[in-house]
Every structure is written in structure tokens, then in C-alpha cells.
Chain A
Amino acid sequence: MEFDTQVKLAVYRHFAETAKAPAVSEVARRIWSDVESVLAAYKRLRAQRLLVLEADGKSIRMAPPFSGIPTQHSVEAGGLRYFANCAWDTLGVLAALHKPGTVHSRCEQSGELLHLPVGLDGPGPTKWVFHCLVPAAKWWDDIVFT
């Protein structure tokens, strides 16, 4: 397996198992490597839009659909509470985990809370909707805003 793939899987599997972002030292330990090599891989994975790093260049802000920081969008699954980067990513967390769960978020206009059960085949019928302000061609111009 290529080194960058090992790093990517170590990051994503840490998120899946703990619902938290791994420290770079934890990723290095998991794949029997060193911090410098993992940080170099992080930059390449950022270019592939698989990671978004904080300004320090080593803390993981996003490993989509997982968020490394608390957000208004969260998911309960398998006894853990995951944070997602956006509304889309709440369902993305469950799609990645292949587990049922509950999405917690809110209506951005009214503030009404959303608690949406999601099975292995997706959510049941609901009148809640998803709205994306940024066109697809511009999503990664500022992925945090998107």
C-alpha cells in the first residue's frame, strides 16, 4: 500500500474509532513511521482534498466528512458522537461508517432543532431540506465557508 494511502487510512480510521482527530504522532505510531513523513503526506492529501489542516500545518480541521473541531452538525452512532463539517457531511459520516445513527443539527433560519434518525438505507421521509449557497465549481475555493 502506498504511504499516502496508509496515512489517509490511519487518519480516517482514527476518526471512525474515536470520533476525534488524531495527533500527528498518533498517525505516525499507527503506521510505524515518523512525524516528518506524515506531515509531508498531509500536504499531499490536502492537495487531493482529503484533508484540511489548521494554520499550524499539523492539526486536522477536516477529514471529510469528519470534523476535527466541534460544529453545529453532529452524529450519534455506535455509542460515539461525531462532528461533521456541514449538513451534507452529517449523512456522510453515517455513509462512511456504514452504521445507523441520529443526525443532530438545526434549521439555520428558525433555529428549530433537527434530530433525524438514519438507517442503513438512509433517512425516512421528512420535509427538512438541504440548501447549499456555493455552486459546485466553487466549493473548494473556501471549503470552510462552503
Chain B
Amino acid sequence: MLFFRSEEQVREWCEVNGYPKRPLVRMDQLWGLATAWYGTRLQEDARRPQPEEMRAIFAGLGLHGEFWDPQSDSFG
């Protein structure tokens, strides 16, 4: 899970290393993920999102598709 200066830098990195290019996440979307996952982490009742909750969080941030499905079996 890495930062890149631009989509072009992601494309170059994937080509150089032979990696598949995955869906890009904007910084405001990443902030949404961070608050959903960790906003209550220092509290007594904190817990990690479960698969259905994860799907709802991803969808709410506009992150759709098999890549974001926590129970997908499409990736071997």
C-alpha cells in the first residue's frame, strides 16, 4: 500500500516491476478508509469492519469491483 505522485508514476512502477495496475484511490477516499478503519481504534468498543461493513464502506467511497470485495475468490 503505497503513495505515488500521479497515475503516470503508478503506471511506470507497475511496468518496471511487472505488477498489475490496480484501481487508484484519491487522497480524500483514503481519508474515508482511514477514519472508517481506525477512527475508534483507541476506544473500548472498537473493532475491525466485518466483510459486509467493508463492502458498504468501499461502495460509499466509490470503490467498486472485485478488487475491493473482501471475500472475492477471483484472485487465486
Contact = CB atoms under 8 A, between A and B. Distances in A.
A109 B31 contact: no
Interface of B: 1-7, 9-10, 12-13, 16, 19-22, 24-31, 33-35, 37-39, 41-42, 44, 48, 54, 58, 66-75
Contacts, number: 158
A89 B33 CA distance: 10
B27 A135 contact: no
A132 B71 contact: no
16 contacts: A5-B44, A9-B42, A87-B3, A88-B33, A95-B39, A96-B39, A108-B13, A109-B9, A109-B16, A112-B5, A122-B27, A123-B28, A131-B2, A131-B3, A135-B67, A137-B74
Interface residues on A, range: 35 or more
A118 B31 CA distance: 9
Nearest 4 Cβ contacts at the A-B interface: A122-B31, A91-B34, A86-B1, A109-B13
